[in-house]
């Protein structure tokens, strides 16, 4: 059910060095690279991990930048999961849509404020 997990970073170069080494040991490499973050894993493989600058622009802290990503089967399911979250007390953190590189996602928080998304690649 979990597709990938992100952790916040205030120093992407330092995080990249650390996670490049961890990923190499696990037999995977970088899947995606952005100005604000890097993701490691294998497309179609197990859950990946990303190190990202927090979207809100605040300093990374334990929890800030952390998000659980739920792998959906298709774009329609992403849309449904986002709608279900909002209908059940969640709040919108980014409407479903293409984010680049074939990445389609919708972002939301649960009633306690924990950040999640539903996504599909391809």
According to the model, what pLDDT value does residue 89 have?
Answer: 86
Whether 97 and 112 map to the same domain: the answer is yes
Whether 1 and 56 map to the same domain: the answer is yes
Number of folded domains in the chain? 2
Percent of the chain residues topping a pLDDT of 90: 70
- Mean pLDDT for back-to-back runs of 10 residues, the chain (122 residues): 89 93 91 95 90 91 86 94 92 96 95 92 88
- Consecutive H or E run containing 85: helix 75-87
3-class DSSP assignment, residue 79: helix
According to the model, what pLDDT value does residue 83 have?
Answer: 95
Domain boundary among 18, 43, 66: 66
Domain span at residue 14 reads 1-66
Whether 2 and 44 map to the same domain: the answer is yes
According to the model, what pLDDT value does residue 100 have?
Answer: 87
Flag whether the pTM goes above 0.75.
Answer: no
Whether 118 and 85 map to the same domain: the answer is yes
Alpha-carbon Rg for the chain, nearest whole angstrom, is: 14
Strands 115-121, 67-71: parallel, antiparallel or unpaired by DSSP? parallel
């Amino acid at each position: 059910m979990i597709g990938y997990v992100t952790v916040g970073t205030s120093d992407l170069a330092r995080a990249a060095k650390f996670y490049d080494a961890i990923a190499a040991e696990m037999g995977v490499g970088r899947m995606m690279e952005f100005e604000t973050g890097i993701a490691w894993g294998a497309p179609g493989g197990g859950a990946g991990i990303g190190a990202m600058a927090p979207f809100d622009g605040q300093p990374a802290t334990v929890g800030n930048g952390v998000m659980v990503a739920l792998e959906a089967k298709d774009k329609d399911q992403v849309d449904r999961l986002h709608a279900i979250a909002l209908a059940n007390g969640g709040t919108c953190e980014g409407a479903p849509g293409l984010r680049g590189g074939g990445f389609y996602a919708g972002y939301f928080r649960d009633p306690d404020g924990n950040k999640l998304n539903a996504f599909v690649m391809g």
